[in-house]
Every structure is written in structure tokens, then in C-alpha cells.
Chains A and B, each alone.
Chain A
Amino acid sequence: MITRRALLTLGGVSLATPLSACSVDSLDRWRPAAKKPHVDHDQVLVARVRTALEQARDLAAGTPFAALHTAQLAALDGPAATPSVSASASAAPAAPATPATAQQVRGSETALQARLLAACQNARSGRLAMVFASMAAGIGQALA
């Protein structure tokens, strides 16, 4: 299990600055491999994916995508923390989104799917690549 605290410690990020408060772009420009060689490549990927999932979940609040990402975030903490997906989806409130908001959410989800596939390609751990690919497939299902 890769905890957020472990990531923050390894990454040298101040605990006063939660990852969820960082923008994805700022994380993209983060270059821990050059500045902090002790930070594991895959842990950085996990941190980036976690942030992207959190942002997508927040943007999609009130839609089934939010429940989807809640389950996917739990998967990053280990199988034991993964809630029942169908139960999560059924617990999500009906989406009252306007067409413009719905379009924004779909755009966000499509971008997230691409990010996950890129993370899958870059992961050094096969197991982590599987998780990222599976998350992307789950988003594809939800978009279908």
C-alpha cells in the first residue's frame, strides 16, 4: 500500500500542502527524478494519478463518475480499501448537471482516461500498469 503520507514524505512535499491542493500542471512540471533521485518513479506516477482522480471526482460531484473515482482512489490504497463499485454507483445521487456541465465532465473524463493510459505506459511496475489500464477502461465504460 502506498499511503499519501509516505508519498509526501518521500517527495519532500510539505505536509501543510495537501496534494489535492496542487494543480495537475504543477505536478507535471515536478521533476523529482532529477532533484530527488530517491523518490521512486512509480510513486510519483501514483501521486499524479491520485491528484488527477481527486480533481476529476470533485468536478464530477453528483454524477456516477464521482462514485467511480472514489472506488478507483480506494484501489490505490490497496484491495482491502476498495469499496463495492456497484454499491458506490448506486449510492450516487442522480446527476442534475446542465448540458454544459455534463460536457465539461465528459471532457475531463476523456482527458483523465488519456492520462491514465500514458501512466500505464510509463509505469515500471507491471501491477501498477494493470491498475492504470483498468482505471482507463472503467472510465471508458462510464463514458459509453
Chain B
Amino acid sequence: MSALTAALEAEQAAVYLYGVLGSRSTGAQLTAMQQAYDAHRDRRDALLGFAHDRGITPPPGAVYPTPTAIDTPAGRQHAAAAIESSCLGPYAALVGETTGDLRAWAARALGECAVRGRGFGAPAIALPGLA
């Protein structure tokens, strides 16, 4: 199931990148980064379980390019918004490729990423993940 693999890759990248952003954040921004990290880690772990249940070999972890311009709070906010946006398409695709509980789970994940991205300053759009 390619969509599941793509969602897992997106979450693996998100967990890595939020770790980087969190290590450079302080105060309220650190709290927000930690919450986002925890949410994506939980989603990644759930996706690993879904992959295992379906006999899908998870993609290997990777070292992802560190976002540029993250030395300022505004830069980190922007990078976090980009992380959330990068998860929208894979989750929308996962909704389309699945049924039942996994589809519902993917739809909730899509919504959470959209809302979290908005919290980090991403623009509101009518059709997140499809635009």
C-alpha cells in the first residue's frame, strides 16, 4: 500500500524535524514543538503497526535535510508549518486508499495536521491535502 508507506515516510521526517526544531526552541514555542513531536511520534508508531499488520516493510529511516532559516522563532514557526503541510497529501491519499477504521484514522490525522499547521501560521485552505 503505497499511501501507507508515504504517510509513514512523512511522519518519520516530521518526528526527526520536530526534534531539530525543539532543540532550538524555548518557552511557549518549545512547548508547541514538543506537543507536535509527540503527536507525530504517536502517528508514526501507529502507522508502523498498520504496516506490520499488512506485511508491509516500513521505509528505512533517513537523515533529512535540516530546514534553513530556523535560527529565529519566526523561522521555526515557518518550518513547523511546512512540516504539517508535508503530511497533508500523504494522509489524504491514505484516506483514498483505505476503508473502515484506517480511513477514519487517516481522516482524523489529516485534520489534525491541518489544524496544527494553521496554528504554526500556515494559511487556511478549503481542501487541505488536495490543493
Contacts of B42 in A (CB 8 A): none
Chain A interface SS verdict (over half): helix
Partner of B107, one of A64, A117, A138: A117
Q: Are B126 and A135 in contact (CB under 8 A)?
A: yes
Cα–Cα, bound, A72→B124 (Å): 13
User: Which listed residue, A71, A82, A126, A144, touches B119 by the CB 8 Å rule?
Assistant: A144
| Count of chain A to chain B residue pairs whose CB atoms are closer than 8 Å in the complex | 96
Minimal Cβ-Cβ distance residue in A for B107: A133
B127 and A134: CB pair below 8 A? yes
In contact, A130 and B92 (Cβ under 8 angstroms): yes
User: Can you report 22 A-B residue pairs in the complex whose CB atoms are below 8 A from each other?
Assistant: A71-B126, A72-B126, A86-B123, A89-B124, A120-B103, A129-B95, A131-B127, A133-B92, A133-B95, A133-B110, A134-B110, A134-B127, A134-B128, A135-B127, A137-B88, A137-B113, A137-B114, A137-B115, A138-B114, A141-B114, A141-B115, A141-B117
Binding site for A on B (CB under 8 A): 88, 92-93, 95-98, 100, 103-104, 106-108, 110-111, 113-115, 117-119, 123-131
Closest 5 CB pairs of A and B: A126-B96, A71-B126, A133-B107, A137-B114, A85-B126
